[in-house]
Amino acid sequence: MIITREHAPEWARFTARKPHPLADRKARGRYNRALRSRGVPAKSCSHCYAVKALSQFNKNSGKPDGRESRCRECHRAANAQWYAENTERQRAYAAWYHKEYAEKRRAYVARWYAEHTEERRAYMVRYRAENPDKERAKERRRRARLHGADNDGWTDSDIARRAEECDAYGCFWCGSDPGEDWHRDHIVPLSRGGSNRLENIAISCQPCNSSKWAKIPYEEWTPPLAEEPA
């Protein structure tokens, strides 16, 4: 390791009032030229004054010795500081810009929407048609929020996976094949404090779903499978 001023212990900073012998630009130049003329691949850094191997200085073909005057370490430190100061400045500028142009931006967005109403509508219709699963999940999340219900964001693929795991694809209430138009039934209805978590969701056929509606099963509504055989 090369000892620099920064490494000097506290007492040394107070006792050594004398400036670094290579702090003077001309003296440093003389010293570095002397090293170069003797073929020593080292020089003193213009920032920390430490004498380091030339490999510790970045290349710069514009300089007489082909190297930067600051050592890599000082270069890195300066870069880091510049970057920190600039991100601060940039952030401040972005905040100012955001505030300054909030009104204009709002107006622009409003105008864009007004001019593209038809396109937007067509896009939304197409999106809903192409992503029925996502749309339904969104609607359920909205309803769950409305009831303040717990929500784990399940989708049809979660139901499909569970059905596969349990080998149970039929209606949870009557056991029949619910067909294409199967319902996602909240076992304890949202309106009765049920959650919108997967464990509260059952595959249901359309008749069972509309017969059960917002009733609590086994208490206010008897599922066909639980009915006494006649």
Q: Which residues lie near Zn ion (CB under 5 A)?
A: 45, 47-48, 71, 74, 171, 173-174, 205, 208
Q: Which among 5, 141, 151 has a CA at the least distance from the CA of 73?
A: 5
Residue 34 Cβ vs Zn ion, minimum distance, rounded to whole Å: 19
Residue with Cβ nearer Zn ion (47 or 147): 47
Residue 92 Cβ vs Zn ion, minimum distance, rounded to whole Å: 30
Residue with Cβ nearer Zn ion (42 or 147): 42
Residue with Cβ nearer Zn ion (74 or 201): 74
Residue 168 Cβ vs Zn ion, minimum distance, rounded to whole Å: 13
Question: How many Å from the N-terminal Cα to the C-terminal Cα in the chain?
Answer: 94
Residue 208 Cβ vs Zn ion, minimum distance, rounded to whole Å: 3
Q: What angle do CA 58, 63, 65 make, to 5 degrees?
A: 80
Q: Give every CB contact of residue 109 below 8 A, 6+ residues apart in sequence.
A: none
Residue 185 Cβ vs Zn ion, minimum distance, rounded to whole Å: 9
Cβ atoms of 90 and 81 closer than 8 Å: no
Whole-number Å distance between alpha carbons of 3 and 7: 6
Residue with Cβ nearer Zn ion (149 or 174): 174
Cβ atoms of 69 and 63 closer than 8 Å: yes
Query: Taking the alpha carbons of 50, 52, 54, 57 in that order, is the dihedral positive or negative?
Result: negative
Angle between helices 132-146 and 156-166 (to 10 degrees): 100
Residue with Cβ nearer Zn ion (144 or 185): 185
Residue with Cβ nearer Zn ion (114 or 230): 230
Residue 166 Cβ vs Zn ion, minimum distance, rounded to whole Å: 17
Residue type, 121: R
Query: Taking the alpha carbons of 220, 223, 224, 227 in that order, is the dihedral positive or negative?
Result: negative
